[in-house]
């Protein structure tokens, strides 16, 4: 049986921001959320199935501090690693000292501009930039390690070095750069020709490598391994989607591989109930078994040297483009179809 190593909690689609790229279209008026008792119950059921790590995300999870603290308390008492993604605007010093300082937590904070104008316009929230920077400073004061995540598209790609310079000041473990994907509000940006295409992203690779060396900061460009430099692969390894060992609980108590279930209901596998048998669900659910039955990924992935580890990269992106689990990463496929896929990454080059 495949172990259930990773459990993701999408606490709510609600958010105090309204970011122009948000793939789950978070907004302040969304009110459905996961209760703390539900989260703890499913944690108890997941532990004997091999649970090692959980992720708290959303929406903005810190809008539901009671649920977040309940999850942290349970994980701390059961030696389960916590990953949390946040826009960084809602921290308070008590939470940082009680739940983040000296704890087994991997924290990611979003920063989407190098000044108030660029960041606040991106998140559609005045004053956010100053709040985030103040909280990054507070994290530093309490020796809390964190990653900074920034999203790029055609509007801000020319500002990337300014973002790197700002991030370095706050000493993150890494700066993760996410090219915006065409899901949710990102699809609106695609229609406006503001999303980076596969050629743009390929051109970003040497730029990011150079910025990393120049500013002495680890920068992770979130693209498939075939598009990353060998030096970046040596530094970070091959990023993979742990889809064979992962399950997500969404705000409406539905169960899916990841948050994409909130966008595409066809990818939802079932629903949590108080008498829910997680072990039976994990072992026998038809949707999960279908995903596990995928032996190989179609398209360029069959010819790529990274195929056995990468396996098509992000499943949500592949399904959103091709509507099937065994589809390749669309950027890789477009590179291949245009004759621009790096020959060094082909098995029969």
DSSP string covering 173-196: S-EEEEEPPSSTHHHHHHHTT-S-
The predicted pLDDT at position 316 comes to 87
- The Cα–Cα gap between 339 and 334 comes to 9
Lowest mean pLDDT among 62-66, 105-109, 244-248, 318-322: 318-322
Give the DSSP letter of residue 96. Answer: I
Does 318 map to a domain? Answer: no
Segment 132-153 mean pLDDT: 98
3-state secondary structure of 281: helix
pLDDT band at 134 (very low <50, low <70, confident <90, very high): very high
Segment 36-41 mean pLDDT: 98
Question: What's the burial of 284, exposed, middle or buried (CB within 10 Å: 0-12/13-18/19+)?
Answer: exposed
Q: How big is the CA angle at 13 (ends 17 and 154), to the nearest 5 degrees?
A: 50
Beta-sheet strand order (sheet of 105-110):
219-221, 175-179, 146-152, 105-110, 81-86, 53-57, 6-10, 246-249, 254-256, 268-271
- The Cα–Cα gap between 199 and 31 comes to 39
The predicted pLDDT at position 229 comes to 84
- CATH code where residue 225 lies: 3.20.20.70
Listed in sequence order, the DSSP H helices in 237-285 are 278-284
Q: Which of 263, 260, 266, 276 is nearest to 315 (CA)?
A: 260
Does 286 map to a domain? Answer: no
The predicted pLDDT at position 29 comes to 75
- Domain span at residue 216? 6-236
Q: Which of 165, 59, 69, 76 is nearest to 110 (CA)?
A: 59
The predicted pLDDT at position 238 comes to 76
Q: In the chain, how many domains are there?
A: 1
pLDDT band at 317 (very low <50, low <70, confident <90, very high): confident
Segment 102-116 mean pLDDT: 96
More confident residue, 320 or 11: 11
Question: pLDDT per residue over 221-259, tens digit each?
Answer: 999 999 888 888 888 877 788 999 999 999 999 999 999
CB contact at 8 A, 19 and 112:
yes
Segment 328-336 mean pLDDT: 93
The predicted pLDDT at position 70 comes to 98
Does 301 map to a domain? Answer: no
Encoded tokens for 332: 């890789």
Question: pLDDT per residue over 168-216, tens digit each?
Answer: 999 999 999 999 999 999 999 999 999 999 899 999 999 999 999 999 9
Segment 130-144 mean pLDDT: 98
Phi then psi dihedrals of residue 211, to 5 deg? -65, -35
Listed in sequence order, the DSSP H helices in the chain are 36-46, 65-78, 93-95, 116-123, 128-141, 160-169, 185-191, 198-215, 230-236, 278-284, 286-292, 307-310, 315-322, 330-337
DSSP string covering 60-88: -GGGGHHHHHHHHHHHHHHT-EEEEEE-S
Does 324 map to a domain? Answer: no
The predicted pLDDT at position 52 comes to 98
Question: What's the burial of 37, exposed, middle or buried (CB within 10 Å: 0-12/13-18/19+)?
Answer: exposed
Encoded tokens for 30: 């969304």
Segment 82-99 mean pLDDT: 97
User: What's the chain's average pLDDT?
Assistant: 94
Does 282 map to a domain? Answer: no
Q: Which of 84, 77, 38, 26 is nearest to 57 (CA)?
A: 84
User: Taking 70 as the threshold, does the pLDDT of residue 30 lie above it?
Assistant: no
Does 251 map to a domain? Answer: no
User: Taking 90 as the threshold, does the pLDDT of residue 144 lie above it?
Assistant: yes
User: Taking 80 as the threshold, does the pLDDT of residue 158 lie above it?
Assistant: yes
The β-bridge partners of 1 are none
Give the DSSP letter of residue 267. Answer: G
pLDDT band at 349 (very low <50, low <70, confident <90, very high): low
Question: pLDDT per residue over 166-181, tens digit each?
Answer: 999 999 999 999 999 9
Encoded tokens for 131: 């709040």
Q: What is the pTM of this model?
A: 0.95
Question: pLDDT per residue over 279-308, tens digit each?
Answer: 999 999 999 999 999 988 999 999 999 999
- The Cα–Cα gap between 51 and 114 comes to 38
Phi then psi dihedrals of residue 202, to 5 deg? -60, -40
| pLDDT above 70 as % of the chain | 99
Does 338 map to a domain? Answer: no
| pLDDT above 90 as % of the chain | 84
The Cα diameter of the chain in Å comes to: 57
Does 292 map to a domain? Answer: no
């Amino acid at each position: 049986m495949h172990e259930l190593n990773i459990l993701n909690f999408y606490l709510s689609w609600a958010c105090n921001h309204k970011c122009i790229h948000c793939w789950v279209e978070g907004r302040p008026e969304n009110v459905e959320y996961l209760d703390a008792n539900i989260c703890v119950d499913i944690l108890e059921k997941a532990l004997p199935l091999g649970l090692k790590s959980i992720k708290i995300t959303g929406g903005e999870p810190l809008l539901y501090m009671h649920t977040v603290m309940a999850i942290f308390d349970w994980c701390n008492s059961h030696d389960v690693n916590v990953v949390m993604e946040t826009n960084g605007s809602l921290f308070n010093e008590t939470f940082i000292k009680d739940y983040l300082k000296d704890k087994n937590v991997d924290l990611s904070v979003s920063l989407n501009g190098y000044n108030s104008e660029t960041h606040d316009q991106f998140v559609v929230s005045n004053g956010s930039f100053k709040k985030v920077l103040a909280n990054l400073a507070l994290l530093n004061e309490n020796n809390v390690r964190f990653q900074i995540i920034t999203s790029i598209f055609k509007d801000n790609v020319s500002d990337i070095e300014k973002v790197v310079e700002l991030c370095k000041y706050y000493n993150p473990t890494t700066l993760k750069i996410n090219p915006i994907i065409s899901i949710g509000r990102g699809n609106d940006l695609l229609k406006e020709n503001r999303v980076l295409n596969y050629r743009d992203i390929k051109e970003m690779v040497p730029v990011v490598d150079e910025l990393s060396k120049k500013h002495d900061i680890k920068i992770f460009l979130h693209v498939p391994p075939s598009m990353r430099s060998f030096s970046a692969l040596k530094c970070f390894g091959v990023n993979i989607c742990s889809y064979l060992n992962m399950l997500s609980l969404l705000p409406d108590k539905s169960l899916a591989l990841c948050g994409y279930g909130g966008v595409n209901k066809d990818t939802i596998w079932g629903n949590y109930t108080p008498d829910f048998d997680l072990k039976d669900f994990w072992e026998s659910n038809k949707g999960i078994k279908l995903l596990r039955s995928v032996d190989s990924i179609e398209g360029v992935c069959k010819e790529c040297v990274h195929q056995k580890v990468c396996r098509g990269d992000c499943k949500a992106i592949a399904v959103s483009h091709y509507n099937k689990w065994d589809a390749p990463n669309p950027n890789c496929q477009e590179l291949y179809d245009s004759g621009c896929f790096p020959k060094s990454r082909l098995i029969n080059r």
